């Protein structure tokens, strides 16, 4: 008999999305669904697994929600409407419920909700992660994270945010908030965690991206983000040595890269480009693709520069500019790299670790040892990951030999 846990993982997001979309209250839907799972844990081991576990869970959760409706004395029209919708799920034999997870994601990344909570909310509602694990990933105290999520769900209910797929014109912008949240979760997990076991939320973020692609087929930026994640995941095994030491891309063992996944990423990117709407994620994926080709086929590192120029003109974020500076260093254009970093300005970039890491390399190559030592200290001091700290320290120590 499959474990209730497995069923929860497979169905949680879909069940919650469907209940929340019908009831327009994420917190109430969560409570009802948790009660349903608790009932399943109690009853399935002795009574046996129902034929359609998800329909059983849905019907049980539905009864809870109807109880709540009665207590609330909500307007009759709304209650009838909901009863009607929910009845379709009752004792389902062949009925499959619609996948409303994309609607749930749009609500989680709604403009009314603080951007920093978009990803945590999606991870909790779509994937069912507990707030403790989410707090860990975002380096927030677990009680603070849990309070924030409770508050934001109250806001969703109070403001009656619509569970819907936005109109065609609004779709790219709204989808962008969803993708941005996933991207932030993925990159923070990617940069700070050393190995496959402790990759933190990278896997979950990749799953959410795949879900966006499945639920909004052909959206070029969802595909672009998926390609980007696939390119990064393909290199995961080569990023750290057996002893845990960090290995930068230009020193990675290319034979450890996952060629199948790289081919998949190329295909995803190709699919994205058919729409002829360029976007930041497609460009970032194309940059990864160019980096990989540079290593595997000896394409000169300068080949990536036009892609970076396109990225900074389309999406001039601090990260994009810093990435451009790093690419200029690799292409041997040190003065140009320094110019980009100086234009960004130390004051603005003081807390931005990658800026210092690139600056350390630039100063080293320009023979400015004092600036390089300082920049390495800043880059190391601002870095989370122990392995990357050690790598920076090693680079720094070469200046003193």
Partner 1 sequence: MQYALIISETPEGFADRTNAQAGEYWGGWTAYSRAIVESGIFAGGAGLEPPETAARVVFDGASKTVQDGPYPDARERLGGFFLVEVDSLDDALAWAKRCPITKGGSVEVRPVLPTPPQAG
Q: How far is CA 386 from CA 122, 202, 325, 326, 380, in A?
A: 29, 18, 24, 22, 9
- Looking from the CA of 305 toward its CB, the CA atoms found within 13 Å total 13
DSSP structure class, residue 134: H
Among 198, 270, 381, 398, binds partner 1 (CB under 8 A): 381
Main-chain dihedrals φ then ψ at residue 246, nearest 5 degrees? -75, 140
Give yes or no for residue 391 binding partner 1 (CB under 8 A): no
Task: Report, in angstroms and rounded to the nearest whole number, the Rg of the chain calculated over CA atoms.
Answer: 24
Q: Which is nearer to partner 1, 105 or 375 (CB)?
A: 375
Give yes or no for residue 390 binding partner 1 (CB under 8 A): yes
CB atoms < 10 A from the CB of 132, how many?
11
* Both tokens assigned to 354: 């990658």
**Quick one: 249 exposed, middle or buried, by C-beta within 10 A (0-12, 13-18, 19+)?**
middle
Q: With CB under 8 A as the rule, give the number of residues binding partner 1.
A: 22
Among 140, 165, 247, 310, binds partner 1 (CB under 8 A): 140
Kindly state the smallest distance separating residue 121's Cβ from partner 1, in Å: 16
Which residues within the stretch 320-379 sit at the binding site for partner 1 (CB under 8 A)?
Answer: 350-351, 374, 376-378
Kindly state the smallest distance separating residue 62's Cβ from partner 1, in Å: 38
Kindly state the smallest distance separating residue 141's Cβ from partner 1, in Å: 6
CA distance 302 to 294: 9
Give yes or no for residue 396 binding partner 1 (CB under 8 A): yes
Q: Which is nearer to partner 1, 120 or 128 (CB)?
A: 120
CA distance 222 to 172: 10
Give yes or no for residue 393 binding partner 1 (CB under 8 A): yes
* Both tokens assigned to 70: 């009665």
What residues contact 90, with CB distance under 8 A and at least 6 apart? 59, 62
Kindly state the smallest distance separating residue 200's Cβ from partner 1, in Å: 13
Main-chain dihedrals φ then ψ at residue 240, nearest 5 degrees? -135, 140
Kindly state the smallest distance separating residue 354's Cβ from partner 1, in Å: 14
What residues contact 206, with CB distance under 8 A and at least 6 apart? 186, 226, 229, 230, 233
Q: Which is nearer to partner 1, 31 or 377 (CB)?
A: 377
Q: Which is nearer to partner 1, 219 or 380 (CB)?
A: 380
DSSP string, 355-379: HHHHHHHHHHHTT-HHHHHHHHHHH
Which residues within the stretch 19-48 sit at the binding site for partner 1 (CB under 8 A)?
Answer: none
Runs of H (alpha helix) within 116-170: 118-125, 131-138, 142-158
By rule CB under 8 A, what string of x and - marks binding of each residue 244-283 to partner 1? Answer: ----------------------------------------
Kindly state the smallest distance separating residue 376's Cβ from partner 1, in Å: 7
Kindly state the smallest distance separating residue 278's Cβ from partner 1, in Å: 34
**What is the helix, strand, coil percentage profile of the chain, to 5?**
75, 0, 25
* Both tokens assigned to 230: 């696939």
Kindly state the smallest distance separating residue 360's Cβ from partner 1, in Å: 11
Q: Which is nearer to partner 1, 116 or 267 (CB)?
A: 116
Q: Which is nearer to partner 1, 93 or 400 (CB)?
A: 400
Q: Which is nearer to partner 1, 140 or 171 (CB)?
A: 140
Q: Which is nearer to partner 1, 139 or 263 (CB)?
A: 139
By rule CB under 8 A, what string of x and - marks binding of each residue 95-134 to partner 1? Answer: ----------------------------------------
Among 141, 197, 255, 401, binds partner 1 (CB under 8 A): 141
Cα first-last separation, the chain: 63
**Which residues are near partner 1 by CB under 8 A?**
139-141, 144, 350-351, 374, 376-378, 380-384, 386, 389-390, 392-393, 396-397
């Amino acid at each position: 008999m499959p474990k209730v846990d497995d069923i929860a993982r497979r169905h949680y997001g879909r069940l919650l999305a469907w209940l929340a979309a019908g009831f327009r209250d994420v917190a109430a839907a969560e409570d009802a669904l948790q009660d349903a799972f608790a009932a399943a844990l109690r009853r399935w081991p002795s009574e046996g697994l129902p034929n359609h576990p998800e329909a059983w869970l849905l019907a049980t959760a539905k009864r809870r929600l109807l109880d709540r409706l009665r207590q609330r004395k909500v307007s009759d029209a709304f209650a009838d409407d909901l009863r009607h919708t929910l009845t379709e799920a009752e004792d389902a034999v062949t009925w499959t419920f619609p996948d409303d997870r994309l609607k749930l994601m749009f609500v989680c990344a709604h403009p009314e909700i603080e951007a920093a909570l978009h990803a945590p909310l999606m991870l909790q509602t779509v994937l069912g992660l507990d707030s403790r694990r989410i707090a860990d990933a975002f380096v927030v105290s677990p009680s603070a994270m849990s309070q924030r999520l409770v508050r934001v769900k109250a806001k969703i209910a109070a403001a009656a945010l619509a569970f819907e797929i936005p109109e065609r014109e609004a779709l790219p912008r709204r989808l962008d908030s969803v993708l941005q949240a996933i991207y932030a979760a993925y990159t923070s997990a990617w940069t700070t965690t050393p190995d496959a076991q402790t990759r933190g939320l990278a896997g979950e973020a990749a799953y959410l991206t795949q879900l966006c692609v499945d639920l909004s087929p052909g959206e070029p930026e969802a595909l672009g983000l998926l390609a980007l994640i696939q390119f990064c995941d393909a290199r995961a095994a080569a990023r750290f040595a057996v002893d845990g030491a960090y290995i930068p891309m230009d020193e990675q063992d290319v034979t450890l890269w996952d060629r199948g996944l790289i081919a998949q990423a190329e295909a995803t990117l190709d699919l994205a480009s058919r729409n002829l709407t360029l976007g930041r994620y497609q460009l970032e994926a194309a940059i990864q693709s160019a980096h990989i080709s540079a290593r595997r086929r000896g394409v000169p590192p300068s080949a990536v520069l036009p892609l970076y120029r396109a990225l900074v003109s389309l999406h001039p974020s601090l990260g994009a500019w810093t990435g451009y500076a790093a690419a200029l260093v690799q292409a041997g254009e040190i003065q140009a790299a320094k110019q980009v970093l100086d234009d960004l300005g130390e004051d603005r970039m003081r807390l931005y670790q990658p800026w210092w890491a690139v600056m350390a390399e630039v100063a080293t190559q320009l023979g400015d040892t004092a600036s390089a030592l300082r920049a390495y200290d800043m880059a190391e001091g601002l870095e989370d990951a122990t392995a990357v700290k050690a790598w920076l320290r090693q680079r720094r120590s070469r200046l003193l030999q």
